[in-house]
Structure 1
Amino acid sequence: MLKKDNAAYTRGSIEGTMLKTGFAMLAGTLAMSGYNIADTYFVGQLGKSPLAAMGFTFPVIMLIGCLFHGLASGVMTTSAQALGGGRKSKAAKLVTSGVLLIFAISLVLALLGMSTTGWIFEKFGATGETLEQVKGYMNIWYFGCATASLSMTGNDLLIAAGDSKVASGMMIVGMIINVVFDPLFIFGWGPVPAMGIRGAALATIGSQLVATIAVLTILYRRHGLLRFERIPWKRLKSSWKLIIRFAVPASIGMLMMPIGSAIITRITAAFGDTAVAATAAAGRLEMVAFIFPMALGIPLLSMVGQNYGARLYSRIRVCRRFSMRFAFLFLLAMAVIYFFTAPVLVRFFSPDRDVQKIMTLCMYIIPWGFGMIEIHRYSGFFFTGCGRPAVAAWLNALRILGLMIPLSLLALYLHSLEALFAARLIADVLAGGIGFWLARRMTRQLPEDGMPPPVYAPVSWSRFLPNRLQAFAAAQAHVDSASDTQ
């Protein structure tokens, strides 16, 4: 098979490359939600109890997904930096070590999950038949934990290697296989017995297994980024340390989203079930606006990482200006569309007049912050790609814990639904503005092209340490920076 150019993000027009990869990932972005949509639709045909069981599984699957996304981000960022710097041998070692690490963690999580399924979901409130349905689904899902993690990681690595079209295609193929497997295993056909909700889990595992085999084969044959050879423990430990240095902040930052969502939902519940239903429906409508900016942002981390590894800092500055300007203007246009069409759009989501009224109010206020949300998200990509993943995690914490939750609690105190929506808008605008300022400041301070990357202290509070510990922190930062560029 023809070898692919693994450092394609370091050449050509930034604007053209970003739009090209964004369009390539558009179908894949839509396919990412296809798994849950298909499972929910077919399981819904089984009745209320299996559908309720699916609802109980989402928080656990989301939390584990955040961990895997963080690990994949660590492998993706470090390998992209190595590929951008022309260090393909190091990239291959990082990818191989990362795949082994993720596979090992998947096995540990699978064993822990299967041994604690009943206890965890009893604490969530599942009882009786619903609890048995949850156990049946999750015990199979845990067994296939490795396929979920490796298929996700494989797609991220294809993007890091500049193969966004193939990555998008793999996402679509996996979704299509899942849609075919769902009715087959859930309802049965011919020699295949009907397995109910267990069949939905088996269908997911089967589709992810096919995708995993495909993406790992492509990484091995097309990109040469997987190596089936013995890795010395010292090299393996060094690679794992570098990956985890990026993965831990990424995982923490991603965990902020479900935690914040759960707290905001609880606050919204104080305004009644109608408010919860309306804001949930508005959230689904909101995601439509982000489809293309999300597709544009998927390869952004790899693009920044490759150019950082290649020491092409001027391209990173151009990338930041273009991506943030594009996202802001695109989502500003979507906000205008939502503002004028909200009374019509909400009718497609609920026939209830009270739900429609709250949805309309929500769509009049919140969309004006869409552009700043995406700027905030992109800011995290620039910090991570430039070797500062902890700042990206702090930006997520700032938006959720520092702004959105306190402002929402204030709205609850005022008992004003309008104030609750305004709290979200203010949090998004402030967080986006801070992210924009910090990312612009960071990229402007990058050195000239070809110069060594800057050395950052590993902790922001190191200046308060005793002199000997300050010296140690500075030395450790130098070692970490040097290992990133080798």
Structure 2
Amino acid sequence: MAIGVLALLGFQLVDSAFVARLGTAPLAAQSFTFPLTFLVIGVQVGLGIAIAALISRALGAGEVERARRLGSLVLVVGSVTIALLVFVLWWAQLPIFSRLGADATARALIRAYWAPQLLAAWLGAVLYFVYSLFRAHGDTRLPGKLMVVTSLINLLLDPLFIFGVGPWAGLGLPGAAWATAIAFGSGLLLAVYRLRRRDWLTRHGLRRELAGSAGAFAGIAGPAMVSQLMPPLAAMLAVSVVAGLGESAVAAWGLASRLETLALVVVLAMTMSLPPWLGRCYGAGDWAQVRQLIRLALRVVIGWQLLLGGGLALLSPWVSQLLAGSADVRSDLTVLVRFLLPSYAALGVCMLVVSAGNALGWPLRAMLMSTARLFLCYLPFLWLGSSLAGLPGLAMGAAFGNVVAGTLAWRLMRHMLARSSAEAGVESKLLPRERT
């Protein structure tokens, strides 16, 4: 999964690097769309969390037929839900981007880019639901391989669609979206072909399963989607703050956002691969294994992110030189990388705690933790730093907010694991025969 996520996020960074060669205005225009793209991703990830949690719990409890019914339902419901969201975002684009601070020039560039980008977002969401089904059944190899394949397709198509070849002048900014749409569409065809060879879906009993599982699904998917929707909302507010610092700051912030997801590749891979394990342990009542898995995951995340973040902070001038074409954008990006990247160790802890909470039957607590991270820790310090010291203050404030959020998340996880283990121990003493 780490290899697949690295490839997937790498091609998103490559998209921005190619677009940066078109100039600061197209890069800034693309940066304004990131919060809404993350909104779609937030909904799809929330639904994917519910898919993985319910199916893995059903498999852990030996309910194979129910797992098949759940798999069929979530693919249909998820695809329709994302389609409706994509239509709303296309219809309301003018007021949304105006509120985000996009001027007339940026809105004109966005208008040509937005329709193919939303098509790519829908295809990517459906593909993600299929990935979630594979992960729930313990197969992370195929999703990882297909992520690499789609990334390679996008990498090959990006320069052709953006800049053109021979007499064809290319499409400019919209070319990046069309390349992504074709890559996701190709991956979806391959994934569906492989899915048809697995006995994981069924057409029977879907209405009865929908009536019986809608509450459980909503109980996980609802808080999970809210948790996933908080980052896009916070990103919109952050972009509106950054927009007050100038066009080069917005462009640099967009590149930093893409670099952030790439730097968090190990964390993202764990948030995809760990919940099915935790779900099966939860279904079997094995809390000792749950504690062992979470401790190992947190140690890996903290160690890896500190090493990577510190290294990239030291290399920030060269990283900026590689990604940005304008001198002003390079200067702003250097500042952002230097302060933000090391703080992603604490951000990774928070993301892992939220993901584990959804898998272990604490979706409401996970939602509250995600909300607190963004609206009590991240945004207030980001705004305060920006008001006091411009872009450097903004970077330092965001980094400090990440550290505070990671500390709070760690304390919450320790408390919940201790409480759940104690309750499981009491139940084991009271009901030894039934549990056996």
User: Which residue does the alignment assign to 1:320?
Assistant: 294
**Structure 1 residue 338 displacement after superposition:** 4.7
The one-letter amino acid paired with 2:69 is K
User: For the Cα contact (< 8 Å) 1:311–1:449, is it kept in 2?
Assistant: no
Q: Deviations over 1:176-222 (max 9, x none)?
A: 233444566667789x9976666554443333223223223333423
Unpaired stretches in structure 2, ≥5 consecutive residues: 429-436
Is 1:381 the equivalent of 2:355? Answer: yes
User: Which residue does the alignment assign to 1:408?
Assistant: 382
User: Which residue does the alignment assign to 2:77?
Assistant: 101
Which of 140, 143, 166 aligns to 2:142? It is 166
Return the alpha-carbon distance in structure 2 between the equivalents of residues 114 and 308 of structure 1: 40
Partner of 1:226, secondary structure, is coil
Computing the radius of gyration from Cα coordinates, the structure with the larger value is 1
Return the alpha-carbon distance in structure 1 between the equivalents of residues 55 and 260 of structure 2: 33
User: Which residue does the alignment assign to 2:402?
Assistant: 428
1:79-478 correspondence to structure 2 within 5 Å = 79-113=55-89, 115-117=91-93, 134-142=110-118, 146-182=122-158, 200-222=176-198, 224-227=199-202, 229-268=203-242, 289-338=263-312, 341=315, 348=322, 365-412=339-386, 414-415=388-389, 420-447=394-421
Is 1:28 the equivalent of 2:4? Answer: yes
Which of 24, 38, 42 aligns to 1:62? It is 38
**Structure 1 residue 417 displacement after superposition:** 6.0
The one-letter amino acid paired with 1:251 is M
**Structure 1 residue 68 displacement after superposition:** 1.6
Q: Deviations over 1:323-365 (max 9, x none)?
A: 1122112223335435655566556566988877766665565
User: Which residue does the alignment assign to 2:434?
Assistant: none
Q: Deviations over 1:94-139 (max 9, x none)?
A: 1111011012223433544555556655666778786566444434
User: Which residue does the alignment assign to 2:431?
Assistant: none
User: For the Cα contact (< 8 Å) 1:107–1:145, is it kept in 2?
Assistant: no
Partner of 2:420, secondary structure, is coil
The one-letter amino acid paired with 2:303 is L
Percent identity over the alignment? 25
Unpaired stretches in structure 1, ≥5 consecutive residues: 1-24, 455-486
**Structure 1 residue 78 displacement after superposition:** 1.2
**Structure 1 residue 373 displacement after superposition:** 1.4
Pair 1:184–1:352, CA change in 2 (3 A): closer
The one-letter amino acid paired with 1:329 is G
Across the aligned residues of Structure 1 and Structure 2, the Cα RMSD in angstroms comes to 4.1
Which structure's residues are more often helix, by fraction?
Answer: 2
User: For the Cα contact (< 8 Å) 1:314–1:449, is it kept in 2?
Assistant: no
Pair 1:338–1:118, CA change in 2 (3 A): closer
Q: Count residues with an aligned counterpart.
A: 428
**Structure 1 residue 247 displacement after superposition:** 1.7
Return the alpha-carbon distance in structure 1 between the equivalents of residues 299 and 354 of structure 2: 16
Q: Deviations over 1:215-274 (max 9, x none)?
A: 23333423x2222x2444232233333222222222221222233233334445556666
The one-letter amino acid paired with 2:405 is A
The one-letter amino acid paired with 1:215 is A
TM-score in terms of structure 2 length: 0.80
User: For the Cα contact (< 8 Å) 1:317–1:444, is it kept in 2?
Assistant: no
Pair 1:110–1:441, CA change in 2 (3 A): closer
Q: Deviations over 1:47-91 (max 9, x none)?
A: 887666544543332222211221122112211222222222211
Pair 1:364–1:78, CA change in 2 (3 A): same
User: Which residue does the alignment assign to 1:72?
Assistant: 48
Deviates more, 1:318-327 or 1:348-357: 348-357
